[in-house]
Amino acid sequence: MTTVRDRAGPPRSEHVPVSVRRRGGAIVGFDPERIASAVARAMAEVGRAPGGLPARVAREVSEEMGAASTRPVSVEELQDAVERRLMAAGLDDVVRAYVLYRRRRAELREQKELLQVTDELKLPLAAVVVLKERYLRREPDGRASESTGEMIERVAHHVAAGEEVHRPGSSAHWAEEFAGAMRRADFLPNSPTLMNAGSRIGLLSGCVVLPVEDSLRSIFAAVSAAAVVHQAGAGTGFSFSHVRASGEMVESTGGRASGPVSFLSLFEQAAEVVSQGGRRRAASMAVLDASHPDIEEFLAAKSTPGTLSHFNLSVAVRDGFLRSVARRGRQRLVEPRTGRTVKEVDAESLFARICEAAHRSGDPGLVFLDAIDRGNVLSELGPIEATNPCGEVPLRPYESCNLGSVNLANFVTGGRVDFARLEEVVALAVRFLDDVIEVSRYPLPELESAALATRKIGLGVMGLAELLASLGLPYDSHAAVRAVGRILERIRAAAEAASAELAEERRPFPAFARSSLAGAGAAARRNGQLMSIAPTGTISLLANTTSGIEPIFAVSYVRRILGRHLFETNALFERVARERGFYSEDLVSEIASTGSVQGLDRVPPEVQAAFPTAMEIAPEWHLRMQAAVQRHCDGAVSKTINLPETATVEDVRRIYLSAWRSGLKGITVYRDNSRPGQVLSLRHGDGAAVSVAEGFSGGCASDRCSP
């Protein structure tokens, strides 16, 4: 006899099944709430108020199954019993909705079986496709040799081994905690951690910055190091600002230098070769200072479509240059090898060419070096001149970014943010990322030394747009910006507290005494950097949520998977539509024609307001949101300011200057259809629909934000 709680009354004793046999054969405990939830969802879909019926059906099915046998009952038996109860109640329309739901789930299982992947996590089909291609361990013939759940267990146990260094015998406990957070998609680490944990490669960092000095030896060493890093699935960042300008004398040969831009093709070709044999596209960031004599050649480097496809470009700018732009002053171009001023140019004209290039192709973005310097607590170790491929982690040479993101969409309960649970997961994530540094295997000794000296981590967030929609706050509103500021403030405080606790348990990071934190008398920390907001390209797909802090790019769209065109709809919007009774396949098809719900009579006004898409949000709101988040991040924020195709160069100029004045550490814009191969596009003609590439994860139309 087991106690069952009826939602409409007190708990009472009934016959219930002891356990349920899942389709894969696993035996799990019986949960009547799952039955009640499924019935409530079917009733909402046809516009019926659930009342006490879901709980009653769950109770009656429990009694029927429990009285019939003490053996584990199958999922199919439970579902058949639910159908019988609904038919007996005369709810034919609810039965049809329930049957359709079962049919959709069966089709999804069949599609996953075609992939030969066992998916205990019940992920979207697109996520399973990506997992098979890039993350799951494979047999020599390409078949997946682990399930989605086994991948989580592999990662959790490998990372938790770092606990043994500090407290022998504790790893099993922390492996269970880590696995639970990842299974719930409360937190997920960056892709190389998911791919490489427990593997021969062993590099778990998402990216590294490599030095490029003014010599062939340094340049080719950087190419070699980058190839090894890319092979492991991580990205790279470089500053080319120290390479002498084209036309400068090469003393050893008497010839003339070809300049930094000429060497980009070497890095590009190496990245292309590695990508062909790797598990995901190699991605790099090239940074050049605005004072470099070859800056105009750099701006034109990606003017030909398809050129340098593995590179994002950013111009490093300082406050002095931007003040000169504002007052129509001059900018010195300085030869980096000698410090000699080559010439002076009109600052406004140079800035205009930067904006024209960004308008044309999305490159370059800007890196605000003085803002980075002001936030660098380890400036004594040397300047920061480069970032990772998406710009969220400014790093010194050989430092790495060890990234992971908390899924904010999972922390809304009853229309409020569950801060207590959020702070618990943040603390767990900080511990996880610190253990990543411990167990990662670094392909170069310099990478290991740099990682251990500062122990930088980059805790970020994803699902922000869904969190706001759950709270009924339009992304483009002052209320949303204020709410996000408060949430990030709490996350930052929880991360600092967790890092301080780890410092007491394990010691502060070795370079702590040389940091400005120590000079200011701050509490010792385990980690030299704590927070960075990544675009979360693939992991947001796995978590079935929105990317990073980006808005929803399209509420519904068409994705080509396994040779079929399938409608996909934002999971939160679909849940809201079903619960409120306005969901239909026709509505999804209509939304997919534009990606937007604005102006649709069948969608309530307050729901329309809660689900604006990126192109419907004015650039100033993108900037305000990024600035609100940046104030609480000691790293940087990866954020794309999406612009319509009709945006002007002046729009780009205004955004770039506003970003500088807002205190951002970097900024990127992307004008719709300004780059070939866009991962999201609107197709016209019969059945016109927003169409996305197979691996699209919702960050932005360009692949810049999801390498």
- Residues carrying an active site annotation: 388, 390, 392
Q: Which CA distances in Å does 260 have to 187, 296, 298, 307, 518?
A: 40, 12, 8, 16, 38
Q: Are 430 and 527 in contact (CB under 8 A)?
A: yes
DSSP 408: G
Instruction: Give dist(CA 652, CA 182) in Å, integer.
Output: 39
Closest by alpha carbon to 211, among 200, 202, 199, 224? Answer: 224
List of E strands, 214-352: 235-239, 249-250, 255-256, 284-289, 311-317, 330-334, 341-346
Tokens representing residue 334 in the block: 């300085």
Q: Are strands 412-413 and 394-395 parallel, antiparallel or unpaired?
A: unpaired
DSSP 381: G
Instruction: Give dist(CA 44, CA 647) in Å, integer.
Output: 42
Element housing 542 (H / E): helix 537-543
Closest by alpha carbon to 181, among 539, 634, 504, 697? Answer: 539
Instruction: Give dist(CA 422, CA 461) in Å, integer.
Output: 11
> Which residues, other chains included, contact 428 with Cβ-Cβ below 8 Å and sequence gap of 6+?
177, 178, 181, 187
> Which residues, other chains included, contact 560 with Cβ-Cβ below 8 Å and sequence gap of 6+?
566, 691, 694
Q: What are phi and psi of 74, to 5 degrees?
A: -85, 160
